[in-house]
Amino acid sequence: MKTFTHYYLLLFIVVVSCNQKDTQKIDFLLLNATIVDVKNDMTLENQYIAIKGDSIFETGPMDEKPEFDSKESMDLQGKYAMPGLWDNHVHFRGGEELIAENKDLLSLFPRFGITTVRDAGGDMAPAVLEWQEKIVNKELVGPYIFTSGPKLDGPNPAWAGSIKIENMQDINNALDSLASLDVDYVKIYDGSLNEENFYAIIEATEKRGMKVTGHMPMSADFKKAVSLGMDGSEHMYYIMKGSSPKADSLTKLGLGYGMMETITDTYDEEMAKELFTELAQKEVYITPTLYIGKVLSQLADEDHSSDSLLNQIGVGIQKTYEGRVKSAIRAKSSGSQMREKVSTLAKSMIRPMFDAGVPILAGSDGGPYNSFVYPGESLWGELFSLTEAGLSPAEALKTSMIYGPAFFGMESQFGSLEKGKVADIIILNENPLEDIQHLRSLEQVILKGKLN
C-alpha cells in the first residue's frame, strides 16, 4: 500500500512538472492564421500566434504548436494576419473647443486597421499626451500616438499653438520645452520661419539627438537642410525644389510657393536621381501625402456632401473644412494649376524614389482643416495612391508599418508578426499582398494584444 502511494505521488509530481514546463500561460491564441510577411512580400500558411500581454510570445506552424494555457483563442480559418497599419502624418487641432471632437475620432483609426499614428503637430499637445497614456493603459480605444507636440514656426505662425522662433534663444527655449513634454520628434512649419532659423533648428535638434522633419521655407535650400541633418521632409514640394535647376534663381525672386509651377515645369530627372541617392544614403524619410494632394486638387469640383464618413466628423471640425474649399475655388478662378501639377509630378517621382532606396512614409495628413481627408480611410487612400504611382502592394505597405517604426528607430518592435514584437495585428479576409484594395476585407483589429 505504501509503495503504491509513493508510486502515484511520484507519477503525479512528474505529470504536474511536465505540465508546468510545457503549458505556457498566455493571454490570447490565434489559430490557423495566414501570416502576411510584408518585408519579404510573402505569406506563411497554417500558423499560430501566441500573445502574452502587449506582445507576441511566439509564432510557428500549427503542427508544431505546443500546448498553451490561453485565456482566449480564435480560429482564423486561414484568414490573413498582418501587422497593424501606421498613418505617419495626422493632426489633432482646432483649439480648446475641438478637443472633444478630435478625441471622438480616435476610434476611427483602428476601424481602418490603423494601430499607430504619427501626429505632425497641432494646438492640443496636453490632450494628445493624455490620450497617448490612456491608449497605452487601454482606457481609451485608439492608435498609439507618436507626437511632435506644437510645431515650430516663425513670428507669425500659420497654425495656432505653434512656438514662435525668431532667434537662437527661442530655438533653445522651444527645444527645452519640447524635451520636457517628452515629444517624439520635432516638426518645423514654414508659415513665417526664415531660412536662417530653419537651418539653426535643424542643427540644434541634431546636437540634441532629436529627430526633425517638416516643411521648409521656400527661401531655403533643400540640399543644405539635408546636409545639416534633417531627418525627414513632409510633402513633395521641397524635393521638387531640390530637383529643379531653376530653384536658385526663383528663390532670389522671393516667390514662395508661387515658384511651384515653374519648379514642376523645370523638374530635372537627373538632378532628382542624384538627390534621391543622397536621401537614401542619409536615411531621410519622405512623406509624399499624395492622397490629400489629390483631394485638395479636386476640391473645387467635387461634391463631398454624401461622403460616407462625413457624418462621423463633428460639426466643429466640418466647419474647419470650409477654408480650403474657398481657397480651392479662388485658385481655380485665378487659373492656378499648382496643385494639379504638383500632384501629377509627385506621382511620377514615387517609383524612382523607392528604387533609389529612399524611405518613403505613408501619411494621410488627415485632421481638422484638411477638408474631407478622413481619419483611417485616408491612409487607405494614401496606400492606394502609392500603388497607383507604381509601388507593389507589399512596397506600399512597407511605407506604412515598416518605415514608420524605422523613423523612430523602433523596427525591432514593429513591422512583422514575430516573437517579441508588439501585438498590433489586423485580420483580413483576403490577401493584401495580391491587391491593396483587399484592405477593404478587414475584419478584426488587435491593439496591443487586445481584440477590439
- For residue 395, with 0-12 CB atoms within 10 Å meaning exposed, 13-18 middle and 19 or more buried, which class applies? buried
Least distance between Zn ion and beta carbon 85 (Å) = 18
Please choose, out of 104-112, 127-135, 338-346, 359-367, the segment that lies near Zn ion by the rule CB under 5 A: 359-367
Q: Cβ contacts of residue 179 below 8 Å, gap of 6+?
A: 208, 210
Closer Cβ to Zn ion, 365 or 395, answer by number: 365
| Chain centre distance of CA 225 | 22
Whether 300 contacts 332, CB under 8 Å: yes
Least distance between Zn ion and beta carbon 292 (Å) = 8
Closest CA to 65 of 29, 34, 97: 29
Whether 211 contacts 186, CB under 8 Å: yes
The SS3 assignment for 341 reads helix
Please choose, out of 12-20, 148-156, 291-299, 364-372, the segment that lies near Zn ion by the rule CB under 5 A: 364-372
Radius of gyration of the chain (CA): 25
Please choose, out of 179-187, 259-267, 300-308, 357-365, the segment that lies near Zn ion by the rule CB under 5 A: 357-365
Please choose, out of 93-101, 237-245, 358-366, 418-426, the segment that lies near Zn ion by the rule CB under 5 A: 358-366
Least distance between Zn ion and beta carbon 429 (Å) = 32
Closer Cβ to Zn ion, 58 or 153, answer by number: 153
Least distance between Zn ion and beta carbon 419 (Å) = 36
Whether 432 contacts 112, CB under 8 Å: no
Residues 191-220 touching Zn ion, rule: CB under 5 A, are none
Least distance between Zn ion and beta carbon 120 (Å) = 5
Closer Cβ to Zn ion, 216 or 427, answer by number: 216
- Grid cell digits, residue 29: 491564441
Closest CA to 30 of 85, 108, 82, 101: 82
Closest CA to 210 of 201, 218, 223: 201
- Closest-by-Cβ residue to Zn ion is 365
Least distance between Zn ion and beta carbon 212 (Å) = 15
Kindly state whether residue 365 participates in binding Zn ion, applying the rule CB under 5 A: yes
Per DSSP (E only), the strands in 332-436 are 425-428
Closer Cβ to Zn ion, 120 or 263, answer by number: 120
Closer Cβ to Zn ion, 118 or 398, answer by number: 118
Q: Which residues pair with 214 in a beta bridge?
A: 188
Residues 117-136 touching Zn ion, rule: CB under 5 A, are 120
Least distance between Zn ion and beta carbon 287 (Å) = 9
Kindly state whether residue 382 participates in binding Zn ion, applying the rule CB under 5 A: no
Q: Cβ contacts of residue 95 below 8 Å, gap of 6+?
A: 123, 124, 160
Least distance between Zn ion and beta carbon 370 (Å) = 7
Closer Cβ to Zn ion, 52 or 93, answer by number: 93
Least distance between Zn ion and beta carbon 367 (Å) = 7
Closer Cβ to Zn ion, 120 or 204, answer by number: 120
Residues 424-443 touching Zn ion, rule: CB under 5 A, are none
Least distance between Zn ion and beta carbon 353 (Å) = 19
Closer Cβ to Zn ion, 366 or 415, answer by number: 366
Least distance between Zn ion and beta carbon 28 (Å) = 35
CA pair distance 259, 262, nearest whole angstrom: 6
Whether 163 contacts 188, CB under 8 Å: no
Closer Cβ to Zn ion, 365 or 382, answer by number: 365
Instruction: Return phi, psi of residue 216, to 5°.
Output: -130, 135
Q: Compose the 76-115 pattern: x for residues touching Zn ion by CB under 5 A, - for all others.
A: ----------------------------------------
Residues 52-71 touching Zn ion, rule: CB under 5 A, are none
Instruction: Return phi, psi of residue 284, to 5°.
Output: -95, 125
Whether 113 contacts 445, CB under 8 Å: yes
Instruction: Return phi, psi of residue 67, to 5°.
Output: -75, 135
CA pair distance 126, 138, nearest whole angstrom: 18
Closer Cβ to Zn ion, 122 or 415, answer by number: 122
Closer Cβ to Zn ion, 296 or 446, answer by number: 296
Size of the site for Zn ion (CB under 5 A): 2
Closest CA to 242 of 277, 211, 212, 207: 277
Residues 149-168 touching Zn ion, rule: CB under 5 A, are none
Residues that bind Zn ion (CB under 5 A): 120, 365
